[in-house]
Amino acid sequence: MLYILLFDNSSFLQRFRLSLKVNKLRSEINNLISENEQLEKENSALESDPQILEEKARELGMQKENEEVYIFKKEESQ
């Protein structure tokens, strides 16, 4: 039994690697939770404020019905 404790490092290494992986996954989960909370706030703002909704739609290149949109491109300097 002493031999296993002293010379069997594979289980220790495996546990260490799994521990690192668990910590990484927990960190990813926390990041996703934060991102989800931010998206929920943004969604709530879009649902409650028509002006914010229109601004977002404009950013995405959307237009109102019967509206003409003109896009001006900057000339490249030579």
More confident call, 69 vs 21: 21
For residue range 1-55, list pLDDT tens digits in order: 555 555 566 788 888 899 999 999 999 999 999 999 999 999 999 999 999 999 9
DSSP 14-63: HHHHHHHHHHHHHHHHHHHHHHHHHHHHHHHHHHH-HHHHHHHHHHTT--
Enter the pTM of the model.
0.60
- Sequence-separated (6 or more) residues with CB below 8 Å from residue 61: 69
Instruction: Assign 52 to helix, strand or coil.
Output: helix
